[in-house]
Each structure stands twice: as structure tokens, then as C-alpha cells.
A and B are shown apart, each in its own frame.
Chain A
Amino acid sequence: MNSPSVAPAALAQPAPGELALSGCWTVLGTGAIERQFAALAVPARAGIVVDGAGVERLDTVGVWLLHALLRRLRAQGHAVSLQGWDPRFAGLLELLERPPDAAPSQPPVPGTLERIGRAAVTAFEEAFALFSFIGETAAALAASLARPARIRWRPILHNIRSAGVDALPIIGLLSFLMGVVIAYQAADQLRQFGANIFVADLVGLSMLREFAPLMTAIIVAGRSGSAYAAQIGTMSVTEEIDAMRTLGIAPLEVLVLPKVLALLVVLPLLTFFADVLGVFGGMVMARAQLGVGFEDFLDRFTKAVSVTAYAIGIGKAPVFALIIVLVGCFQGFRTRGGADSVGRHTTRSVVQAIFLVIVADALFSVLFSVLDL
């Protein structure tokens, strides 16, 4: 048995005071019938008969359209009566007695000033919540360090693997390419002055001080920060966080502290790995473009790049690690509602973490220039 083909709804006017409806007055059959209502020319102040004898099928959408038609005719001052409707439509036609409500109330659209105000309040509220979260995490961390037996080693090790070991290939590859790009950009300029050997200064200092920590932090924010937000966000949507609280397990201690401790260990190590691969990329390019051999490069590198430059780069990493974990977990805990909210907060965690990492890096530059490092 096939589904019967849908004969479109039609409206005819055999006599000035009569409307004949036919076809399927259903959700799929009516289409653009509503536009015909406006074109109806009916003699003024006359009684109108709406004849439904030709209607094959009727559903609630059809009833709604019929209601719209009757409302329009009555508004023009006509007395309307129905005739010829199949008795099987009686139940649906009863709905006409209880007409649908007028247009649903729309919430008022806020003005520009109100929107600015609301956005500002939301931003302040979020900043305040972030600081509260940092405070709570610090308190939980202090409590946990005071009683080391309570530290959960297994999740820490798990996080070290997922955020650190698993990230080695991508961070290695991107740092290597970064070193290649820096050396390539420098090659032309240095060759003009015959200062080929200074490629070691340029690659060494820029990689160790700036690019390795920054690149590593950005990749980890995208890889792990988003995962933290999605994990905790999903757990709060499914009430797992609430369940944890009622079971007397502090979510901060279980979900946040292991990530904090793991990333504090992992990010400096990843930065070191990026240092090595980045400088190696520079070396490869220096030999190919500038004729500076590996031995000459390393000889110059040890003289030009101080331990301080290396320490500055590595020293930034724990700060970036804290930013990434705290923002990721914070956005996770802020998730409310459904799947949609998880996605929104995950995106926000990555954007905010990268933003704050770059701001922190700029602040470090200011600090170091003041300290003359």
C-alpha cells in the first residue's frame, strides 16, 4: 500500500456568497493557500457559506488555516456558516469552538544600552567567578599538599601521558618547522651583511625565550585545555558533578588538582623538547641556506645563548600551564544545560586560554625588560 498522493488544498468561489474548499487541507497539502485568502472578493455584508464537501483530508494545520479564513471573513463583517463537512472531521472542527490564542507573546527585545549593560555584568560576574575558582583551587591544592597521602597519583600519571607523552609528535614537528621558518627568514638578511653565523643567535634566542614556550602552550591549550572543558562540562550536564558532591567527594580534588599537577610537570618538559627540535630545525636550514655547519652553529650557539635565556623560556611554562588548566576546568564547571552549552564552553576555554597565555607572555616581556634580563 502506497501512501495516498496528496491532492493540494484548493479554494473556489462558485457563487459570490459561497466558498468551496477541496483537496487535502493537511500540513503537506496546504502550501501557499493562505495567500489566496487575501485575494478573496466577497460582497459586503453578505452571509457566507463555507462548503467543505470537497475536502478529502483535514488535520490540525488545516483547521488552523480554516480558522484564519473565518477570522478574516468575520473581521470584514460577514456572517459565516459551515456546510457539507464530512462527519469524520467533527472532532477536529470542534477545535474551532476553542480558537487558538492570538499571536504568542514575544519577550521584549532589549535596547542597545541594556545589552551593553547586561554584557558588562556578565563579564564582571564571569571574571569574579574565575578568581573565586582560582582561589578555591589554590586552597584545595594547599590542603592536598599538607596531606600528601590524599594526592591521587594515578590520575596525575594518566594526565601526564595524555597531555604530555601523546603530544610529543605534534609539538616536535611544529617546533622543527618553526625553527626552519625562522632560519629561512633570517637567511636573506644575514647573507647581505655576511653575518651568516649569527643565525645561531637568532634561532637560539627566539626559540628558547619566546617561540618554544608560546607554541607549546598554544598547542596544549587546544589539545588538552579543550578536553578538560569538554570532560567536566559533560559531567556537569549529566549531574555527575552533583553526584560527586553528594557522595562527599570534592570535584576540585578529583578533577582539577591532578590536571594542575600533571600539567605543571609536563609543560616545562614539552617546552624543553620544543627548544631542542626548534633549534635543530634552525640548524638544518642554516646548513642548507647559509652554509653554516652543525659544529659551527653549536659552537656559536653556546656562546650566544645564555642559560638565562633558556631558564626564562622554561620558567614561563608553569605559568602557562596554570592558565590552561584553570581556564579549561573553570569553563567546564560553568557549563549548564545541554550538549549545546558543552560545545560553547569548550570553544570559550580554548579562546580564553590562548588569549591569556599571550597576555601573560607580553607581561613577562615587560617584566624582563624592567629587570634587564
Chain B
Amino acid sequence: MAHADTVIEVRNLSTRFGEQVVHAGLDLEVRRGEIFALIGGSGSGKSTLLREMILLHRPDAGSIAVLGADLQSLDAARTQALRLRIGVMFQHGGLFGSLDVRENVGLPLREHSALPEASIDEIAAWKIALAGLEPEAGNRYPAELSGGMLKRASLARALALDPELLFLDEPTAGLDPVSAAGVDQLVLRLRKLYGLTVVMITHDLDLLWQVADRVAVLGQGRVQGIGSMAELSRREQPDIRQYFDGPRGRAAAWKPK
């Protein structure tokens, strides 16, 4: 292992869908306790990379190690153990439509812990409150929630088992600026609370400037650049420049951190 504090290590990763090459020798490291963002244009392979890190897709070649476990050589039991140590918030929530929010958040606890039913309900209600939702939201079904509430509920479920590593897929996509700012604060607060490592995909420039410690720009199957937004803003490659030039990029950069 390259570094004692490395939580995710991707080496020489290759992924293909038929003729289409998604990753061609991609290398990446995520360190413990940081908020790491993946950015890149459509089709640059960030979603595929995320799916590979959370054991939903197998790469064609190369290696990925998550929390010290090499994903290529995991048996079923160790895969399961690893899954309990990571939390995932999907872009569209992935909440179960037949369960209300409290049942959704309590489901992992019910499956994997020996806690009594009543305690699980109370813990779930508490987690819902920690994610910044009203207590009444626990009784609602996902179809009855607004976009921002859906994201918070799905974050509460991702945190149900107190994971060491949290993956966020577009945490602010489709949210109004006020709710999006709320998510920024929530991610920072949870990191402080749990000592989490966060890996996220986002196109939200505010989130990138305000929250992310390091950002990797994906393009042409590789990492084009990696570093803090301030460091990246001094690079010259056109793939990276497009995030800083243009009115939106400049406006986001000027906000005080």
C-alpha cells in the first residue's frame, strides 16, 4: 500500500463497454478523512468509476482497493463485510417506495444489527433528525417527499450503519440553491462528526469550491488533473480550464470559503 492513510487506491484501471473505452489506465488515491470529488464531462466514466468502487461493476483490468481490501480477490463473506463499512447515496435516492422514511433508514439496522425493534425505530428517527429532516418526515413515503427531503432521507439511510466511507452521487443535482447550500453544510458537519471519508460525483461548482478538499478531473479514460480547486484553477489543460472559465466558473470561485 502506497500510504497508510489511503482508503481507496485505484491502479491502472481499464473498463470497456463493447467497443467504447471508458477507463484506460486510470490511477487514483483517496486519503482518509478527506472530501474527494470526481468531475468530468458526460461519458468521462465518473459514474462507472463510482459503481466499480461500490462493488456494482467489475472493471476489465487493473485493481481497486477500498479500505484495504482488493476488490478483485474478495470472497462473498469479505465482500459483505466491506459493504457494511461503506454508505452510498444514489442520485435519485434509491429509497424503497414501499417503505416509509423511518423504515428505509431502519432497514440496514434491522438486517445487520441485533438491536431490539423499538430501539431501531428511535435510532432511525434520530438519524433522520441528524440529516436535517423534520421528525414528521419519518412517517412519509418517498413519493411524498420533495427533492431536497429525498436527498436528506437517502443520506440518512446511507449513514445508518455509521460507515467509514461515504459515496455521494450528485448530492445537489436537482436542488434549489438554498437546499443545495444546506447539503454543503450537512456534508461538512457529518464529516466532522463521524470522521468520514467522502467520495462524491458532482457538477455543483459551489459544492466543489466550498466543500471538496481535493478534486479529480476525469477525461479520455484518465485522471487529467488532481488537487484542490485553487490548484486546479492554475492548470492550463483545456479539459480542466472549462471548469474555471465562463461566467459560472468565475462566479463560484469568488465566493468566500
How many Å from the CB of A291 to the closest CB on chain B? 59
Asked if A61 and B115 make an inter-chain contact with CB atoms under 8 angstroms apart, the answer reads: yes
Asked if B67 and A105 make an inter-chain contact with CB atoms under 8 angstroms apart, the answer reads: no
Asked if A61 and B97 make an inter-chain contact with CB atoms under 8 angstroms apart, the answer reads: no
In the complex, per-residue mask of A20-34: 1 if CB is within 8 Å of any chain B CB, else 0: 000000111011101
Which of A172-180, A198-206, A336-344 contacts the other chain?
A: A336-344
In the complex, per-residue mask of B138-160: 1 if CB is within 8 Å of any chain A CB, else 0: 11011100000000000000011
> Using a Cβ cutoff of 8 Å, how many contacts connect chains A and B?
97
Does A103 sit at the interface, judged by CB under 8 A? Answer: yes
Asked if B67 and A3 make an inter-chain contact with CB atoms under 8 angstroms apart, the answer reads: yes
Q: Which residues of B contact A34 (CB under 8 A)?
A: 115-116, 119
How many Å from the CB of B222 to the closest CB on chain A? 27
How many Å from the CB of B90 to the closest CB on chain A? 14
Asked if A27 and B113 make an inter-chain contact with CB atoms under 8 angstroms apart, the answer reads: yes
Q: Which residues of B contact A91 (CB under 8 A)?
A: 192-195
How many Å from the CB of A336 to the closest CB on chain B? 7
Known contacts A3-B81, A92-B193; is-contact A105 B136 (Cβ 8 Å): yes
Does A95 sit at the interface, judged by CB under 8 A? Answer: yes
From A2, A92, A101, B125 is in contact (CB under 8 Å) with: A101
Interface residues in A, total, Cβ within 8 A: 33
A26 and B112 alpha carbons, distance in the complex (Å): 12
Asked if B69 and A100 make an inter-chain contact with CB atoms under 8 angstroms apart, the answer reads: no
Does A169 sit at the interface, judged by CB under 8 A? Answer: no
Q: Which residues of A contact B160 (CB under 8 A)?
A: 27
Asked if A107 and B129 make an inter-chain contact with CB atoms under 8 angstroms apart, the answer reads: no
Does A60 sit at the interface, judged by CB under 8 A? Answer: yes
From A1, A26, A88, A101, B129 is in contact (CB under 8 Å) with: A101
Asked if A104 and B119 make an inter-chain contact with CB atoms under 8 angstroms apart, the answer reads: no
Does A253 sit at the interface, judged by CB under 8 A? Answer: no
In the complex, per-residue mask of A72-100: 1 if CB is within 8 Å of any chain B CB, else 0: 00000000000000001001100100001
Interface residues in B, total, Cβ within 8 A: 42
From B97, B98, B162, A60 is in contact (CB under 8 Å) with: B162
From B68, B119, B126, B142, A1 is in contact (CB under 8 Å) with: B68
Q: Which residues of B contact A361 (CB under 8 A)?
A: none
A107 and B139 alpha carbons, distance in the complex (Å): 8
How many Å from the CB of B36 to the closest CB on chain A? 20
A68 and B119 alpha carbons, distance in the complex (Å): 10
Query: Which residues of chain B in 97-119 are interfacial with respect to chain A, using CB atoms and an 8 Å cutoff?
Result: 97-98, 102, 109, 112-116, 119
From B81, B109, B129, B141, A27 is in contact (CB under 8 Å) with: B109
Q: Which residues of A contact B143 (CB under 8 A)?
A: 336-338, 341
Does A106 sit at the interface, judged by CB under 8 A? Answer: yes
Does B135 sit at the interface, judged by CB under 8 A? Answer: yes
How many Å from the CB of B235 to the closest CB on chain A? 34
In the complex, per-residue mask of B155-183: 1 if CB is within 8 Å of any chain A CB, else 0: 00001111000000000000000000000
Does B121 sit at the interface, judged by CB under 8 A? Answer: yes
From B82, B125, B192, A100 is in contact (CB under 8 Å) with: B125
How many Å from the CB of B81 to the closest CB on chain A? 5
Asked if B126 and A101 make an inter-chain contact with CB atoms under 8 angstroms apart, the answer reads: yes
A338 and B141 alpha carbons, distance in the complex (Å): 10
Q: Which residues of B contact A31 (CB under 8 A)?
A: 113-115
Does A64 sit at the interface, judged by CB under 8 A? Answer: yes
Name B residues whose Cβ lies closer than 8 Å to a Cβ of A: 1, 67-69, 78, 81-82, 84-85, 97-98, 102, 109, 112-116, 119, 121-123, 125-127, 129-130, 135-136, 138-139, 141-143, 159-162, 192-195
21 intermolecular pairs with C-beta atoms under 8 Å apart: A3-B67, A27-B161, A28-B161, A31-B114, A34-B115, A34-B119, A59-B162, A60-B162, A61-B162, A64-B126, A91-B193, A100-B126, A101-B129, A101-B135, A103-B121, A103-B125, A104-B122, A105-B136, A336-B143, A338-B97, A338-B143
Which 9 A-B pairs give the minimum distances between C-beta atoms?
A338-B97, A1-B68, A59-B162, A100-B126, A337-B143, A31-B114, A104-B125, A340-B98, A340-B97
